[in-house]
Structure 1
């Protein structure tokens, strides 16, 4: 597999407060789950992807942001209040290649890093989801790091 450039925190650097790791969220997909192909995500767009991990379970919703051959993915969960940034694609508020905004409390997050830029999310960030590009061109959820390797800010 070839890694697609995705936003991730370094294992030994502190994660911003309230950034629950994606793999600890309900219905998180297993590593290797297919998200789509690069062509499925428009360049400069934020696209909501829904991944079903088991029959009958609610989907895991994530946001896939494409910038050329770079892809950034985040769990669809506002770090400020734990609600989805948007319930469906049509409600997703973003400025292409710049930021994502929660449509509930209007917290604004940086496109590439998911770090809070404005609103009541100061010092927090979205939860990044690693993606890899396999030899057949499929974008897949990357491996979840060992949770013990993450240091969180109290």
Structure 2
């Protein structure tokens, strides 16, 4: 298995319905980093919020397979517009994850399905991918 497998193959990807965080933990126009599983190989997500909509991306830059950010305070965001990798500053569009600047231009982040249940953001099923 690759060092950073895609979400569907990741050994620590949680099943649909698993709580990820409270909706209030994701600031409007901001992001929240989530890691699930053991420290040495967690399933990493970046959750982005626009109003009552949350988009989730596998926290893995397609350039080198490294996380875009490991902590919320390290996220490089232009609210509702883009997010960037901390390693080589590749810039990805907020809405569709396509790299518009950097060494992986034209590649994209991997979408992860999420849903909002009440005030909780939970793992979604494959038919709820953004």
The answer to whether TM tops 0.5 is yes
Aligned to 1:94: 77
Q: Quick one: higher RCO (CA 8 Å, sep 6+), 1 or 2? A: 1
Q: Which one of 25, 43, 50 corresponds to residue 28 of structure 2?
A: 43
Superposition deviation, residue 90 in structure 1:
2.4
Larger radius of gyration: 1
Q: How does 1:120-139 map to 2 (within 5 A)?
A: 120-134=103-117, 136-139=118-121
Q: Which one of 56, 66, 74 corresponds to residue 83 of structure 1?
A: 66
Aligned to 1:27: 12
Aligned to 2:122: 140
Structure 2 gaps of 5+ residues are none
Q: How does 1:97-108 map to 2 (within 5 A)?
A: 97-108=80-91
Structure 1 gaps of 5+ residues are 1-19, 146-154
List, as ranges, runs of 4+ consecutive aligned residues in structure 1 with deviation greater than 3 Å. none
